[in-house]
């Protein structure tokens, strides 16, 4: 390959689409490293603290797309204190200096200030796409800056962010000359936008294919919008309550009938069940349906709807669909690849909405299923074994039995055998979340069989250090391990310290790891950041110098080239 001119090598590298492949070829030799880094257009940084922003910009000067992730996954469940970190500003500043031709920025679980959005809006003349997922720290003022200054913006996708509403009519800030939008998602915003401005915006953006509205948009407005965007492929409705009489409703039905390209539907806040009839005409074309924010639609109505959706590939629902509803999904949606069933009654006991029966039904009807997130009240080993047999193609399997540590209700046994069957059967499994009563045995199975596993989430499971060690020694592709409330201590933590440099991160909270153990790890592995996170509530209770025997409440370990970070708050100690 050294005889080939660089242009040829570069051309060959163009065929490498995955980041991993490109990372690997860049380590072959200096020449390849050089060619690769100059031709890299898309950069993915899985942990914002693993590398300094400036270094990324220096290495990849031709970068057009940048993705950065911040907080650890358990931050989604309030396990990471609010000011832990994950700031977007340093990345945007570095990009503004080093890669002004940046076109796309994707951030996940990061703190994004209005200041950073304003800087972003002004620094990149070719900026085309901004995707913010589970971020916080900005307000509608920041969005106004984006709308005002990003000429040629194609995509503004805000997914599940915490955005403060400053009442600014940010949407009206898109200039009349803006006609380039292809994707607009502001479903997570709480405030109102000017309906007229929105209708005019979507009307002039003739390439608009994806539009996700927020709850404040009325059905009447939706009908008018749909009339202007008949080529829409993805739609997130606003609030779906029909206020008065038949007229708006009829208009809506007609508008839906004109949208022949609609493949994906979501939203449906506040929907009244009888309004669902308005979408029956589109259902046969749907490949994606998200009804997980519509608790008013109970089983019977859900079922009526689902019976029309035979092309469905991705379905997100609430557990009010019940086992019977899932049986209907199984018999109707033969193309189903991804299913998520969320709990509708989080705090109450309620009646068992979905159980192992629903899952078994799905597995026997939907053989293409490869991704599952299932919240249920109970699960049995027998069911999991059946599911494993029926669906050997799982790449993502996340089961959450709502009652922590609950055994198989039929046999009173732990669910080791059930999950064991899953990892044995699903050879391509990349992501696994466990729940229910589990002993060290399940980890033995995971270590032995889950060869492709990249991410593992453990809660209230295991008996001893052996469990964690099985996983660390066994899963050679493990990248992220997150554990809470499990009896793993220093011995497990220190058993295979080299492993952590092959992984992105390790999270342990409410386990048996001590401060001494963390210090030992930090001492042995200088290229890891070992963060000890103290709950801010405890700061009064904590002694000045806690002894090494003191159990650590939360620990986050990650490999890094950047050394200890300098933006850590008081309650984070980096060893």
Query: CA-CA distance, 348 to 533, in Å (whole number)?
Result: 31
**304 binds another protein, rule: CB under 8 A:** no
Q: List the alpha helices (DSSP H) in 66-171.
A: 89-98, 114-123, 140-149
CA gap 125, 100 in Å, rounded: 8
CA distances 64 to 37, 94, 129, 571, Å, are: 12, 14, 10, 36
Residue 346 sits in the site that holds another protein (CB under 8 A): yes
Site string for another protein, 475-504 (x = CB under 8 A): ---------xx-------------------
Tell whether residue 293 is a contact of another protein (CB under 8 A). Answer: yes
Q: Taking a C-beta distance cutoff of 8 angstroms, is the pair 473, 449 a contact?
A: no
Backbone angles phi, psi at 134, to 5 degrees: 50, 40
Single out the residue of 58, 197, 296, 497 in contact with another protein (rule: CB under 8 A).
Answer: 296
The residue (of 57 and 303) whose beta carbon lies closer to another protein is 303
Helical H runs in 271-310?
A: 299-306
Segment interacting with another protein (CB under 8 A) among 31-39, 268-276, 381-389, 490-498: 268-276
Shortest distance, CB of residue 277 to another protein, whole angstroms?
A: 11
The token duo for 265 is: 């539907």
- Output the smallest distance, CB 513 to another protein, in A: 11
249 is a contact residue toward another protein (CB under 8 A): no
CA distance linking residue 89 with residue 542, whole number of Å: 33
* Cβ atoms < 10 Å from Cβ of 455: 20
Q: Which of 176, 537, 543, 544 binds another protein (CB under 8 A)?
A: 537
Nearer to another protein, 203 or 216 (CB): 216
Nearer to another protein, 2 or 78 (CB): 78
Bridge partners (DSSP) listed for residue 458: 483
Binding of another protein by 134 (CB under 8 A): yes
Nearest approach in angstroms of CB 450 to another protein is: 20
Beta bridge partners of 554: 509, 533
3-state helix, strand, coil in the chain (%, to 5): 35, 20, 45
Q: Decide whether 97 or 274 has the Cβ nearer to another protein.
A: 274
Contact between 351 and another protein (CB under 8 A)? yes
- Using rule CB under 8 A, residue 392 touches another protein: no
Burial class (CB in 10 A: 0-12, 13-18, 19+), 490: buried
| Nearest in space to 249 (alpha carbons), one of 291, 211, 277, 273 | 277
CA 475/CA 405 separation, integer angstroms = 24
Is residue 188 a contact residue for another protein (CB under 8 A)? yes
- Phi and psi, residue 133, nearest 5°: -120, 125
Using rule CB under 8 A, residue 395 touches another protein: no
Cα 554 to the chain's mean position, in Å? 22
543 binds another protein (CB under 8 A): no
378 touches another protein by CB under 8 A? yes
Structure-derived torsion over alpha carbons of residues 148, 151, 154, 158, reported in degrees to the nearest 10: -30
Q: How far is the CB of 459 from another protein (least distance, A)?
A: 7
**What mask of x and - would describe binding to another protein in positions 10 to 49, judged by CB under 8 A?**
----------------------------------------
Interacting residue with another protein among 227, 352, 491, 568 (CB under 8 A)? 352
Residue 547 makes contact with another protein by CB under 8 A: no
**Angle between the N-to-C axes of helices 114-123 and 140-149, in degrees from 0 to 180, rounded to the nearest 10:** 0
Classify burial at 565, counting beta carbons within 10 Å of its beta carbon; exposed 0-12, middle 13-18, buried 19 or more: middle
Stretch that binds another protein, among 114-122, 140-148, 219-227, 347-355 (CB under 8 A): 347-355
Among 14, 428, 501, 538, binds another protein (CB under 8 A): 538
Least CB distance to another protein at residue 75 (A): 10
Task: Map residues 435-464 to x or -, x wherever contact with another protein holds by CB under 8 A.
Answer: --x-x-----------------x-xx--x-
Which H or E run contains 365?
helix 356-365
Q: Does 292 bind another protein (CB under 8 A)?
A: yes
Query: Helices 440-449 and 416-425, interaxial angle, to 10°?
Result: 0
Interacting residue ranges for another protein, rule: CB under 8 A: 74, 76-79, 134, 160-162, 188, 244, 269-270, 272-275, 292-293, 295-296, 298-299, 342-352, 375, 377-378, 400, 402-407, 409-410, 412, 433, 437, 439, 457, 459-460, 463, 484-485, 510, 535, 537-538, 541, 551, 553
């Amino acid at each position: 390959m050294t005889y080939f001119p660089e242009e040829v090598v570069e051309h060959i590298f163009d065929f490498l689409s995955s980041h991993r492949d490109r990372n690997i070829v860049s380590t072959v030799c200096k020449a390849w490293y050089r060619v690769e880094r100059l031709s890299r257009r898309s950069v993915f940084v899985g942990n914002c603290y693993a590398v300094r922003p400036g270094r990324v910009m220096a290495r990849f000067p031709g970068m057009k797309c940048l993705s950065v992730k911040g907080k650890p996954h358990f931050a989604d469940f309030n396990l990471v204190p609010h000011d832990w970190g994950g700031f977007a500003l340093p990345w945007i500043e570095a990009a503004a200096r080093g890669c002004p031709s940046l076109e796309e920025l994707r951030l996940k679980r990061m703190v994004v200030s209005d200041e950073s959005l304003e800087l972003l809006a002004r620094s990149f003349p070719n900026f085309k796409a901004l995707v913010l997922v589970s971020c916080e720290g900005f307000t509608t003022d920041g969005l106004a800056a984006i709308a005002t200054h990003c000429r040629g913006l194609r995509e503004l996708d805000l997914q599940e962010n915490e955005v403060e509403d400053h009442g600014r009519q940010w949407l009206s800030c898109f200039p009349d000359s803006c006609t380039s939008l292809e994707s607009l998602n502001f479903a997570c915003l709480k405030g109102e936008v000017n309906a007229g401005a929105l209708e005019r915006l979507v009307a002039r953006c003739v390439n608009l294919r994806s539009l996700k509205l927020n709850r404040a948009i009325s059905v009447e407005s939706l009908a008018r919008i749909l009339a202007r965007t008949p080529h829409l492929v993805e739609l997130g409705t606003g609030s779906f309550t029909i206020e008065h009489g038949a007229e708006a409703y009829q208009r809506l039905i007609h508008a839906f009938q004109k949208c022949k390209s609609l493949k994906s539907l979501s939203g449906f806040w506040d929907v009244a069940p009888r309004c669902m009839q308005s979408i029956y005409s589109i259902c046969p074309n749907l490949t994606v349906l998200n009804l997980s924010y519509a608790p008013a639609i109970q089983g019977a109505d859900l079922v009526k709807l689902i019976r029309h959706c035979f092309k469905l590939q991705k379905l997100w629902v609430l557990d009010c669909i019940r086992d019977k509803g899932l049986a209907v999904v199984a018999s109707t949606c033969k193309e189903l690849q991804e299913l998520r069933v969320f709990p509708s009654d989080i705090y109450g006991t309620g009646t068992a909405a979905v159980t192992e029966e629903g899952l078994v039904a799905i597995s026997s009807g939907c053989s293409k299923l490869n991704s599952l997130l299932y919240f249920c009240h109970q699960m049995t080993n027998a069911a999991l074994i059946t599911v494993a047999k029926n669906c050997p193609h799982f790449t993502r399997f996340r089961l959450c039995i709502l009652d922590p540590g609950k055994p198989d209700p039929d046999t009173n046994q732990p669910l080791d055998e059930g999950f064991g069957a899953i990892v044995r059967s699903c050879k391509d499994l990349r992501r696994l979340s466990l729940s229910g009563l589990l002993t060290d045995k399940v980890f033995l199975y995971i270590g032995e069989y889950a060869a492709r596993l990249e991410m593992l989430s453990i809660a209230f499971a295991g008996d001893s250090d052996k469990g964690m060690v099985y996983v660390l020694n066994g899963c050679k592709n493990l990248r992220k391990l997150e554990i809470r409330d499990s009896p793993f201590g220093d011995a497990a933590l220190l058993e295979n310290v080299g492993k952590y440099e092959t992984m992105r991160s390790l999270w342990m909270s409410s386990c048996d790891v001590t401060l001494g153990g963390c210090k030992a790890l930090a001492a042995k592995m200088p290229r890891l950041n070992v963060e000890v996170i103290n709950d801010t509530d405890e700061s009064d209770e904590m002694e000045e110098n806690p002894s090494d025997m003191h159990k650590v409440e939360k620990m986050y370990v990650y490999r890094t080239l950047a050394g200890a970070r300098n933006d850590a708050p008081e309650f984070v100690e980096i060893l």
